[in-house]
A and B are shown apart, each in its own frame.
Chain A
Amino acid sequence: MPEAVIEVEALGKTYRTSVKQPGFRGTLRHYFRRQYREIEAVRSVSFRIARGEVVGFLGANGAGKTTTLKMLTGLVHPTSGRARVAGHEPFRREREFLERITLVMGNKQQLLWDLPALETLRINAAIYRLDEATAQARIAELSELLEIQDKLREPVRKLSLGERMKCELLAALLHRPEVLFLDEPTLGLDVNAQDSIRGFLREYNRRHRATIVLTSHYMADITALCERVLLIHRGALIYDGELRGILERFAPYREVELTLDAGVADEVLERFGEVASRKGRTTRLIVRREDVTRTLQQLLRELPVSDLAIKDPPIEQIVGRLFREGSLGEEGSAEPRTP
């Protein structure tokens, strides 16, 4: 593997949280004898990310993605294991380290709400010791890429959500960090704004060979930007590899699309697999991967099939299913697979 910018070894984080029973008695008990519970947010996670890679973190809510990001930025102290980012131990938060990374959170902002974004940019330029000419050149470059040149002088509170997020990105990237941690950067944005931010991140990565680690609930962010994904489930890393690899690993079924010459009752079709949809004479059946050959033979033998196609289910559907179910069955306990 080329030079690793991020190295994580058996990283873990356990939180202690108080537990309270409902009702008045529960409140009294909580007041006098507080009980605590330990939550393993991240469990022995290991991976390496090379310079210039764009990696997506996937996982359901509470899976441990944000906690991992926070440990990598130095905001949260790990309970166990070790991490090195850009040659530094994150939690020491040395100046050289902070100058090389950035964290953008879709639901938190660093911009001063009542002032134009330019004021925050002036502060950031001073904090990161950029001289006036460099700061101006970078503001011009980034604002052009983000298409917000005319928005920097308006109070942040008057900007749309998409414009605000673009200004946030500008503020977070002014010091030209090598490693970008992005936590839900397109949260709540409309499709156009999401697309524009994805385009910007792609271009930033290309121009500066920046490493990007991204979490998002929008699969489009992941599919558009990430060649590699890390799948986190209940704090553990269960998959590390190409996005397409998830299909083989977590989609033990395929889609069979068939067109029939004559009408056939639902009950008859259900004998061959789960009916996902029916439109006229075209039916989409979900069939277990190991049953595909046998089912196809049966279908051709027993039904008036005029056309037939076999497809992998869309990646969004698989990951969405994993998130919804919150359980990965036996696959979930498998060892991480590296490419």
Chain B
Amino acid sequence: MSPAAAFLRKLRAFASTGVALFSEYRAELFLWSLAGVIPLIMMGVWRQASATGAFPLDPTEFTRYFLAVFLVRQATIVWVIWDFEAHVVSGTLSPLLLQPSNPAFRFVVWHLTERLARAPFALAVLAIWLLLFPDAFFWPKLGDVCLAVLGIAASFATRFVIQYAFAMVGFWSERATSLEEVWFLVYVFLSGVIAPLDVYPDVVRTIAAFTPFPYFVYFPVQLLLGREENVLRGFVVLAVWWGLGYALYRVLWRKGLRHYSAMGA
């Protein structure tokens, strides 16, 4: 079997099993989709505020912005650190390490297949919101949609690799997820989930530009809305952070494996 054929076979096997797994967790997926409506709640707040004060966006633009945030968040959610930590703590990482396949492969494929299983629920929530706010409906340009899809893919890849690098801390600590919790706090504030970066003071926006956070949500949202002015810079910054995350993962993976003592067995 050629390496390419072997890779495709593995991809197919994991993808079909992933779909089977997430079909088993339909109710959970629906609840997760509902749990992602924070941007829609923020939308209500900002619509109200913009109707009474001077803001860079009008109520309809705020609505479109947060609906796009909701979509981007649904497509870029990453939870690999919890999975990895559970495997380390329970000792079930050991069987995975004894297979000739990097465990990262299954986590990536299962994250991607989860998107497929989640899509109907996410689109249903979006449809309900559009019925409530019909003024926000618009057809994005094909070029913007293509760029947004690329932006979402780059955002997911970068979020995944950084969180996976954090997950490697699980080799030393049983509470690696606390790192992600701190990271998530900053993410919520600087990524554009609770407010578009347009409404932040200049100094915060300048600082944020040096972090990966605005590129996780705000950047793909701007691409979808056709408002991004510096497309190339966004992709370059994501690529740099992806590279840093990947390098960190490789170093911690190698050192962690040495340290790992198959805890709990």
Q: Residues of A with Cβ closer than 8 Å to B? A: 15, 66, 70, 73-77, 93, 95, 98-99, 101-103, 105, 107-110, 112, 114-115, 119-120, 122-129, 131, 183
Contacts and interface: CB of A to CB of B under 8 A. Distances in A.
Contacts of B97: 74-75, 93
A125 to B, nearest CB: 7
Interface centre among B12, B14, B101, B106 (most CB of A within 10 A): B101
A95 B3 CA distance: 13
Nearest to B91: A108
A256 B24 CA distance: 63
Given A114-B24, A123-B17, A126-B13, A15 B98 contact: no
6 nearest CB pairs, A to B: A126-B13, A110-B95, A98-B100, A126-B10, A95-B100, A127-B101
Interface stretch (B40-48, B124-132, B148-156, B254-262): B254-262
Contacts, number: 87
B262 A70 contact: yes
A284 B147 CA distance: 87
Interface residues of B, number: 30
A108 B261 CA distance: 15
Interface string B94-108: 111111110000100
B34 interface: no
Interface centre among A75, A102, A109, A112 (most CB of B within 10 A): A75
A122 B13 contact: yes
Contacts of B20: 115, 119
Interface of B: 1, 6, 9-10, 12-14, 16-17, 20-21, 24-25, 90-92, 94-101, 106, 258, 260-262, 265
A99 B100 contact: yes
Contacts of B101: 127
Given A75-B260, A129-B6, A108 B265 contact: yes
A210 B175 CA distance: 40
B92 A115 contact: no
Contact of A74 (B16, B96, B98, B106): B98
Contacts of B21: 112, 114-115
Contacts of B100: 95, 98-99, 127-128
B13 A123 contact: yes
Nearest to B11: A126
7 contacts: A73-B98, A75-B94, A75-B98, A75-B261, A76-B260, A108-B95, A122-B17
A208 to B, nearest CB: 19
Contact of B96 (A66, A101, A110, A183): A110
B12 A76 contact: no
A264 to B, nearest CB: 53
The B interface, classified by DSSP as helix, strand, loop or mixed, is: helix
A18 to B, nearest CB: 12
B258 A110 contact: no
Contact of B98 (A77, A101, A115, A119): A101
Given A75-B260, A77-B258, A115-B17, A103 B24 contact: no
A63 B6 CA distance: 42
Nearest to B9: A126
B14 A108 contact: no
B17 A112 contact: yes
A131 B6 CA distance: 9
A73 B93 CA distance: 14
Nearest to B99: A127
Nearest to B17: A119
Given A98-B98, A123-B14, A110 B92 contact: yes
A93 B101 CA distance: 11
A77 B97 CA distance: 13
Nearest to A126: B13
Contacts of A114: 21, 24-25
B265 A105 contact: yes
Contacts of B260: 75-76
A127 B17 contact: no
A126 B1 CA distance: 11
Contacts of A105: 91, 94-95, 265
Contacts of A99: 100
A308 to B, nearest CB: 49
A156 to B, nearest CB: 11
B113 to A, nearest CB: 13
Contacts of A128: 99-100
A107 B265 CA distance: 7
Interface centre among B25, B91, B99 (most CB of A within 10 A): B99
A102 B92 CA distance: 14
A15 B261 contact: yes
Contacts of A66: 265
Nearest to B14: A123
Given A122-B17, A126-B10, 16 more contacts: A70-B261, A74-B97, A74-B98, A75-B261, A77-B258, A101-B98, A105-B91, A107-B265, A110-B95, A114-B21, A119-B17, A122-B16, A123-B106, A127-B99, A129-B1, A129-B6
Nearest to A171: B95
B98 A108 contact: no
Nearest to B24: A114
